[in-house]
């Protein structure tokens, strides 16, 4: 199915091509991904984990408190932080005091440090991973990180500007409507089917995966 029809449908829903373009997410240049420091990656991972299943606005409003409580999210510190520090955070009113999510910070810090040791930096690791294999990257993050299953890792990648799709409810609805997805949304098969659709559209249009994903989502709704 030609993506041009979907693009025209999304533009019409949003009031025109200029209005649609203004809604598309930013995509980081490869050098920007590599230049971002590990603490900023750990911060964004943690933000997405705390947002999962929670009111996003609350997390955003409290985020300066998170940055202060987690001392800037330096991975080398958090990968070996003593248990009593985590226990103190579970009583810290500057953050959402969810101990299960607090415990993800050391685990994800170790993931970032390990990747940096192998690739030079976590940003260099992300830069080297091709958008045509987002499924592989999502599986890697889920395997090596903590609470990075579901859509959490997809939202993390979007926030840092790595070029990929998000299987939001509207994207899933659109893919099913186009007979491109018939698997359970949370399954690996669904990710593979989505990858195939977006890779085909990327080859057709040259548009970033994240733009294709957002445009597709705008073909659903009123």
Task: Convert the pLDDT of each residue in 93-102 to its tens digit.
Answer: 999 999 999 9
Residues 126 and 202 in one domain: no
Q: How confident is the model at residue 221 (pLDDT cuts 50, 70, 90)?
A: confident
Report pLDDT for 222.
62
Residue 63 in any domain: the answer is yes
Residue 5 in any domain: the answer is no
Of 126, 157, 188, the residue that ends a domain is 157
Q: Could you read off the pLDDT of 168-218 as tens digits, one per residue? A: 999 999 999 999 999 998 899 999 999 999 999 999 999 999 999 999 999
Residues 97 and 147 in one domain: yes
Please tell me the distance from the alpha carbon of residue 174 to that of residue 216, in angstroms, as a whole number. Answer: 7
Q: What is the pTM of this model?
A: 0.96
Assess whether pLDDT exceeds 90 at residue 87: yes
Q: Could you read off the pLDDT of 102-160 as tens digits, one per residue? A: 999 999 999 999 999 999 999 999 999 999 999 999 999 999 999 999 999 999 999 99
- 72 conformational bin, left if phi > 0, alpha if psi -120 to 50, beta if neither: left
What letter does residue 166 receive in the DSSP assignment? -
Q: 3-state DSSP helix/strand/coil percent for the chain, to nearest 5?
A: 65, 0, 35
Assess whether pLDDT exceeds 70 at residue 82: yes
In a 10 Å sphere around its CB, with 0-12 CB exposed, 13-18 middle and 19+ buried, how is residue 31 labelled?
A: exposed
What is the gyration radius of the CA atoms in the chain, in angstroms? 18
- Mean pLDDT of all residues in 79-106: 97
Termini Cα distance of the chain: 22
Angle 184-210-123 from CA coordinates, rounded to 5°: 105
Average pLDDT, the chain: 97
Nearest CA to 194 among 135, 150, 154? Answer: 135
Residues 87 and 194 in one domain: no
Residues 142 and 172 in one domain: no
Report pLDDT for 186.
87
Residues 42 and 137 in one domain: yes
Residues 141 and 57 in one domain: yes
Residue 18 in any domain: the answer is no
Number of domains, the chain? 2
Residue 182 in any domain: the answer is yes
Residues 56 and 138 in one domain: yes
Residue 152 in any domain: the answer is yes
Residues 139 and 202 in one domain: no
**Which domain covers residue 211, as residue numbers?**
165-222
Q: Could you read off the pLDDT of 16-47 as tens digits, one per residue? A: 999 999 999 999 999 999 999 999 999 999 99
Residue 218 in any domain: the answer is yes
CB 113 within 8 A of CB 78: no
Residues 64 and 82 in one domain: yes
Residues 46 and 152 in one domain: yes
Q: Could you read off the pLDDT of 39-71 as tens digits, one per residue? A: 999 999 999 999 999 999 999 999 999 999 999
């Amino acid at each position: 199915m030609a993506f041009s029809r979907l693009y025209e449908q999304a533009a019409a829903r949003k009031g025109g091509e200029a209005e649609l373009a203004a809604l598309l997410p930013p995509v980081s240049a490869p050098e920007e991904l590599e230049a971002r420091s590990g603490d900023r990656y750990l911060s964004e991972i943690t933000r997405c984990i705390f947002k999962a299943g929670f009111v996003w606005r609350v997390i955003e409003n409290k985020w300066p408190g998170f940055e202060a409580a987690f001392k800037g999210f330096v991975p080398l510190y958090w990968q070996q932080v003593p248990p009593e520090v985590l226990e103190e955070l579970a009583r810290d009113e500057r953050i959402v005091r969810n101990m299960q999510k607090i415990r993800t910070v050391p685990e994800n810090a170790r993931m970032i440090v390990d990747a940096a040791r192998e690739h030079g930096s976590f940003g260099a690791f992300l830069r080297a991973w091709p958008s045509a294999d987002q499924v592989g990257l999502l599986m890697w993050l889920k395997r090596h990180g903590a609470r990075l299953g579901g859509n959490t890792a997809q939202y993390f990648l979007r926030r840092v500007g790595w070029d990929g799709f998000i299987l939001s409810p509207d994207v899933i609805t659109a893919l099913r409507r186009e007979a491109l997805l018939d698997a359970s949304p949370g399954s690996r098969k669904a990710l593979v089917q989505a990858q195939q659709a977006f890779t085909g559209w990327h080859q057709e249009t040259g548009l970033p995966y994240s733009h294709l994903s957002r445009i597709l989502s705008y073909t659903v709704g009123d």
